[in-house]
Each structure stands twice: as C-alpha cells, then as structure tokens.
Amino acid sequence: MENPPVEPGHRRFRFTLPVQVFTAVGAVVVALLTTGTVANGALELVHEADEEMIAAEGQLSESMIELRDALWSSRAASLRIDAATRGQAAARIDDLKASFAVFEERLAAFTSDYAETFGEPLPSVDLVQQTWEGYKAAALVDGTAKITSTGATSGTATGGFGVTLDSQLGEFSRFVDQRLEDRLATTAAQAASAQRMFVIITVIGLAGGIAAGVVVARRIRRNSAALKDAIKALADGDLTVEPQVRSRDEMGEMAHLLTQAQSSLRETMAGVVSSAVTVAAAAEELSAANAQVSAGSQETSARAGVVANAADEVNRSVQAVASGAEQMGASIKEISHHANEASRVAAQATSVAESTNEKIGRLGASSQEIGDVIKVISSIAEQTNLLALNATIEAARAGEAGKGFAVVAGEVKDLAQETAKATEEVARRVSAIQEDTGGAVEAIGEISAIVKQINDFQLTIASAVEEQTATTAEMSRGVAEAATGSGDIAGSISSVAQSSIEASTTLEQMGASVAELAELSADLRAKVATFTY
C-alpha cells in the first residue's frame, strides 16, 4: 500500500527529526539554563549580601571605635582638670567642652550608620543620651568646683557616668553583632532555598528530556525498521514491498520517496525489457549497414591515396618556383640597396662640390680685398718715398746740421722702396691666386654638373629597381600562396585518405560494438528477469 505523500508545503506541522531531537535536548537545556539562572541569581544575592555585611561591619566597627575614642578623650579631659592648677582650670574646661562636641558628633554618626545599614533606629539611644547629659553636667560641676576650690574632684563626680556610658556602648556593639548574624542567617536561608530550587528544576528538566528522548527514539526505531525491511527487499530484487511509515518527518519523507522509487523502478524495468528487444533488432540491421559502409570507405581511401600522391608532386614543383622567386627577390633587394647607396654618395659629392665652390668664391673675394690693401700700402710707400726725398733735400739745405737727419731720411727712403717692391710682389702673387681661383671655380662647377647627372641617373635606376622589387615581391607572394594552397590541398587529400582509413577502422570497431551490443541486450533481459515487479 502506498504511503500518503508528505509534501514540504503541507499545512499540517511537520514534526521533523531535528525538531524531535531538539525538543528532547531543549528540555534539558531549558532546565539547565533555568537552573543556572536561578543559581546565578542566588549567588549574586549571597555575594551582594556578603559585600553589604562586610562593608556594614567595617563601617559600624570604625564608627564604634571612633565613638569609644571620643568617650575616653572626654573622660581624659575631665581627669586633666583634677591635675590642673586653679589658673589652668578654665582652659581645661574649654578642652572638656570641645571633647563633648566630638563625642556628640561621633554618636550622631554611629546612629546614622546603624539606621542606614539595618533600616531601623538604634535601640536604647535615648538612654545613652540621658546618661551622656548627666555625665556632662557632673563634669562641668567638678570643673567649676576646681576653679572655686569648693567642690570635689571630677573623678568622684563623673566616674559612675563614664562606666555606664562604656557599658551602654558595649550594648551597641552587641546590637550590631546580633543584626549582622540575623542578616547572615537570612542570606544562608536564601542560598538554601535557591539550592533546593536548583535541584528541583534540574530533576524536572532531566526527566522531561529523558521522556522526550525515549519517545523520539522509539518512533525513529519503529520507522527505521520499516524502511530497513523495504530496502532489504529492494536489495533482494523484490520491488513490491513498500515501507509502512506514517510519521510526518524525514522518515516519512524517505518512505514516500522510496515508494515512488519502487514504482519508478517497476516502470523502468518494464521499459528496459521492451527497449532491450528493440535494441537487439536494431543491432542486427546496423551490423548489415555497417558492412556496406565499410566497403565504400575502403574504396574511397584507395582513390584518395592516388590523388594525394599527385598533389604532393604539384606541391614540390610550386615550392621550387617559390624558392627561385625568393632568391631573385633577394638579389633585386641587394641591387636596390647599392643603387640607393650610390645615389646617397652622389648627393653627398654634389653637396661637397657646392660647398667647395662657395669657399673658393670667398677666397677670390678675399684675394680681391688683399689687392685693395696692397694698393693702399703702395700708395703709402710712394708718399713715404716722396717724404724721404723731401727730407733729404731739406737736410742738404741744412748743411752740416742736417747730416743726421739726412741719414735717417735715406734709410726711410730705402725702406719705402723695399716696401714698394714687396707690395708689387704680393700684388703679382695675389693676381695669380685670383686667376687660379677662377679656374678652380669653373672646374668645380663642371664637376658639380657631372655629379648631378650621375645622381639623376642613380635616382632613375633606384626607381626602376624599386618597381622591379615590388613586382618580384608580388610574384613571390603569389607563388608562396600557390605553394601554400597546393600544400593545403595535399594535406587535405592526405587527411581525407587518413580519415577514410580511420573510418574503415571505426566501422570495424563499430561492427564489434554492434555485436557486443546484441550480447549486452540479451544479458540485460536475463538480469531484469531476476526482479519481481
């Protein structure tokens, strides 16, 4: 019988395994948390009470000590009046009154600390006040008697009051100790109550957790046993045993899914048997068709081998042509390089010739300027010669007195004549330089014209070589493409031949696979027959 489906979106609550386990564990956890909270609260109360008690005990003890010190200080001040002289008695009485104020202040502080600590007034404080008033009156009476020398000593008047006050302060200490003991007992009672609550909650939580765990364990064991029986039957090949699980948890979902799987397997088994019969029939037909295709593939492989050999021969021829085209292209590139280099050298020679022609032109101009300077020097030499001649004439006129001047004038005249001769020689040589410069300028001009013609020829050659280079490159590219194409054709034909061979091999393998498929189909039908569905 098929289980009712347990869908995730169902309206009813799904008590899943995690929820069941968490419920059992949660009961224990809640109990422990509650116990921990209660115990922690109790411990905090005890801790706070202890701290308050310690602080109160310390504060009240300190106040009591200060109060007793104030009482003994006052009694000591009263006794000092007895030891004072008549003149010192007034000052000692002032000290006594000051000690009264200190005691009253300490008593008020102790009373306030007690009320603040225990929340109630200090017992017998009125009785202490009455005793204190009597003590003050007696002490003042004794002090006045000391001044007038008519009364008894302070010790005889105040001694009884001092002992009474000391006894009453002792009662205060006992009050404080009793109240602290009462508070300690209250704290202990609270701690004991918290401990009892801790034990009760722990026991309840553990009992609830154990009960929930037992319920969950029984349900899981019952459902898992049903699933185990169905799965064992499935392992034995029986698909008719369905798990009987009704819980709305993961076990119920697994049972529902297992039931669906069994149903699907039953349908699958029926389909497998039908398909196995169909596959066996198709395998026989495929085996016959495979034999025909294998024969055609072998014939195609033989023809493709012949075409591949022819394509290889064409490819080798095209490769040879491509190699020759590449060599011719390399030679033309070398010629183009040399032509461009010659054109560059010719252009450089033209530039140098023009520069030289310009420099020689400047040399001619410079020689012309030198000629002008020589003319000036010649004119100066002629004038100097005339001046020397005039000086000689004047020296002759002067007679004996002008002999020295005549000698100098003669030397100047000789120097002027030598200068004129040298100037004529320089002018002659400068004229020769100018004539040679003119010839050089004409020769360099002719050289420049020839170099320009050479440069023009080189440019023409370079242009032609570049055109030939482009043509050769295009031819090489075409041949290379042809070689590549022929290689691709040869490769494709080879691939076709190889594919035909591989196809033949594959067809042979397919034939074996078809035979194996037929065997597997028969084996599958035999194995499916072992299942009950």
The stretch 282-292 carries a mean pLDDT of: 69
Least confident of 294-308, 383-397, 454-468: 294-308
The stretch 197-215 carries a mean pLDDT of: 80
pLDDT, tens only, 267-281: 887 777 677 678 677
Q: Taking 80 as the threshold, does the pLDDT of residue 97 lie above it?
A: yes
CB neighbours of residue 361 within 10 Å: 15
The stretch 476-500 carries a mean pLDDT of: 65
The stretch 200-209 carries a mean pLDDT of: 81
pLDDT, tens only, 380-426: 878 887 887 787 887 777 777 767 767 777 777 787 778 878 888 87
| pLDDT score, position 43 | 59
| pLDDT score, position 307 | 55
| pLDDT score, position 300 | 60
3-state secondary structure string across 442-497: HHHHHHHHHHHHHHHHHHHHHHHHHHHHHHHHHHHHHHHHHHHHHHHHHHHHHHHH
The stretch 461-484 carries a mean pLDDT of: 67
- Residue 8, helix vs strand vs coil: coil
3-state secondary structure string across 147-184: HHCCCCCHHHHHHHHHHHHHHHHHHHHHHHHHHHHHHH
Query: What is the pLDDT confidence band of residue 503, given thresholds at 50, 70 and 90?
Result: low
Q: Taking 50 as the threshold, does the pLDDT of residue 126 lie above it?
A: yes
Long-range contacts of 104-112 (CB under 8 A, 24+ apart): 104/132, 105/70, 106/63, 106/66, 106/67, 106/69, 106/70, 107/67, 107/70, 107/132, 109/63, 109/66, 109/67, 110/60, 110/63, 110/64, 110/66, 110/67, 110/172
pLDDT, tens only, 143-201: 565 555 544 444 445 557 778 887 888 788 787 778 878 777 887 787 788 778 878 88
Query: What is the pLDDT confidence band of residue 9, given thresholds at 50, 70 and 90?
Result: very low
CA pair distance 312, 17, nearest whole angstrom? 77
Q: Give 529's Cβ-side CA count (13 Å radius).
A: 7
Query: What is the pLDDT confidence band of residue 10, given thresholds at 50, 70 and 90?
Result: very low
Determine what percent of the chain is predicted with pLDDT higher than 90: 0
Query: What is the pLDDT confidence band of residue 6, given thresholds at 50, 70 and 90?
Result: very low
The stretch 294-299 carries a mean pLDDT of: 66
Query: What is the pLDDT confidence band of residue 289, given thresholds at 50, 70 and 90?
Result: low
Using an 8 Å Cβ cutoff, are 154 and 92 in contact? no
| pLDDT score, position 446 | 75
Higher pLDDT, 455 or 200: 200
pLDDT, tens only, 131-141: 888 888 777 77
Least confident of 67-76, 102-111, 309-318, 384-393: 309-318
pLDDT, tens only, 11-29: 455 556 666 666 666 666 7
| pLDDT score, position 409 | 74
Q: Taking 80 as the threshold, does the pLDDT of residue 48 lie above it?
A: no
| pLDDT score, position 11 | 43
On average, the pLDDT of the chain sits at: 72
DSSP codes of every residue in 370-433: HHHHHHHHHHHHHHHHHHHHHHHHHHHHHGGGGHHHHHHHHHHHHHHHHHHHHHHHHHHHHHHH
Q: Taking 60 as the threshold, does the pLDDT of residue 471 lie above it?
A: yes
| pLDDT score, position 358 | 77
